Amino acid sequence: MRCDKIIKIIEDWAPKSIAWEKDNVGLQVGSLRLEVKNILICLDVDEKVVDEASRKKCNLIISHHPLLFRSLKKLDVGKDKISRIIEKLIKKDITLYSAHTNLDFTKDGVSFQLANRLKLIKQNFLVNLSSDQNKISVFVPSSHADKVAEAMHYAGAGIIGEYTNCSFRILGTGTFRGSAKSNPRIGIQEKIERVEEIKIEVLVNSFDVSKVVAAMKQAHPYEEVAYDVYPLANSNVNYGMGVIGELTKELSEKEFLRHVLKVLQIKNLRYAKGLKTRIKKVAVCGGSGSDLLDAAIQSNADAFVTADVKYHTFQDAESEILLVDAGHFETEIPVLNELKKRVEKSLTDKTKVYKYSGSTNPIVFYNN
């Protein structure tokens, strides 16, 4: 399968447009036109990852963290680690693609997989992304309402959480008068026409607007389609940061910490004691989620599991919420299984998908 087709599988799930504006998701090195042999997925790329890809005949690496994040002024393979990785990728003809904050912010992405590991039920985004949605209203003769709506839904319109094909329809009367140069489907030139029409309203992600409008026009019978696109101030329920959920049964603080160690298969974690002694409602954010501490407290979570927590953030949390730092690598690694599963499911040939067999976690705990 061609690389761009494989990337489409990922971006249909985690659209690039929802990524953090300063992020650098997408193609890092190589070509999207490449015919993919096998695929290696990992959190980070280093030289060992590229070597393993080469051994396993993988010419596509999909990483979570982008290799190119800070600006690169020169390629100095003698001194610079990133330059050496790029050199190796190019010499071995391997393409590197990264899905970072778009994978963090999508349903079933990084934080949902962490929540699954912690066996949380009733999962929902902790904070929804601020609006990047539009509403499209289109006026269609009744006879074609279903056809036009279907085309728009197929192009991605009308998705609200677990519901698809969402629309609202109002019956009314449309009027128009075509010029002498017009070619009206209904009525005749230069005569005012009154037609029973349906106004269809649908929600559309801003990055899908042009696709949906094109599909709408294609399915619409009129020469000139009357429609409106307007921006919304609603938060977007389809994308967000962090996840909130519940344990199936209440645990003591100690039991919960033991549970975190066990399900993430880790030996160490850092934490600050919370307000409650019994833990049931839990917020999580894979990777650096300290900015979501207030949201976790406001959502009445008993505990918040994330990573990269600073001393003063622990201070802010103390006696408010049980704040657990379970490690950046450790809270993000669960997403690789879901990524592997989704890519494998959509492959139409014998391409194999491997998870990197080693660890790219640079942090080591020292015990005497």
Interface residues with Zn ion (CB under 5 A) are: 287
- Give the Cα-Cα-Cα angle 187, 193, 195 (nearest 5 degrees): 90
Work out how close the CB of 330 gets to Zn ion at its nearest, in angstroms, rounded to a whole number: 11
Work out how close the CB of 43 gets to Zn ion at its nearest, in angstroms, rounded to a whole number: 7
Work out how close the CB of 287 gets to Zn ion at its nearest, in angstroms, rounded to a whole number: 4
Q: Which residue in the block uniquely carries the two structure tokens 């698809």?
A: 164
Work out how close the CB of 290 gets to Zn ion at its nearest, in angstroms, rounded to a whole number: 13
- Closest of 365, 305, 308, 314 to residue 334, by C-alpha: 305
The Cα 75–Cα 275 span in angstroms is: 51
For Zn ion, which residue has the nearest CB?
287
Burial (0-12, 13-18, 19+ Cβ within 10 Å), 206:
middle
Q: Which is nearer to Zn ion, 63 or 133 (CB)?
A: 63
Q: Which is nearer to Zn ion, 178 or 287 (CB)?
A: 287
Q: Which is nearer to Zn ion, 110 or 209 (CB)?
A: 110
Q: Which is nearer to Zn ion, 270 or 278 (CB)?
A: 270
Work out how close the CB of 239 gets to Zn ion at its nearest, in angstroms, rounded to a whole number: 17
Work out how close the CB of 328 gets to Zn ion at its nearest, in angstroms, rounded to a whole number: 6
Q: Which is nearer to Zn ion, 104 or 197 (CB)?
A: 104
Work out how close the CB of 221 gets to Zn ion at its nearest, in angstroms, rounded to a whole number: 49
- Give the Cα-Cα-Cα angle 61, 208, 137 (nearest 5 degrees): 170
Work out how close the CB of 347 gets to Zn ion at its nearest, in angstroms, rounded to a whole number: 26
Q: Kindly state the DSSP code that residue 144 receives in the 8-state scheme.
A: G
List Cα–Cα distances, 30 to 23, 26, 142, 199, in angstroms.
19, 11, 50, 46
Q: Which is nearer to Zn ion, 117 or 281 (CB)?
A: 117
Q: How many residues does the chain have?
A: 368
In this structure, are residues 260 and 305 in contact, taking their beta carbons and an 8 Å threshold? yes
In this structure, are residues 31 and 95 in contact, taking their beta carbons and an 8 Å threshold? yes
- Strand locations in the chain (E): 26-29, 38-42, 58-63, 95-98, 121-129, 133-141, 168-177, 192-205, 227-231, 236-252, 270-272, 278-288, 303-307, 322-325, 353-355
- Closest of 122, 124, 58 to residue 95, by C-alpha: 58
The Cα 368–Cα 365 span in angstroms is: 10
- Terminal Cα-to-Cα distance of the chain (whole angstroms): 50
Q: Which is nearer to Zn ion, 15 or 109 (CB)?
A: 109
Q: Which is nearer to Zn ion, 280 or 340 (CB)?
A: 340
CA 28 to chain centroid, in Å, comes to: 18
Q: Which is nearer to Zn ion, 158 or 287 (CB)?
A: 287
Work out how close the CB of 263 gets to Zn ion at its nearest, in angstroms, rounded to a whole number: 19
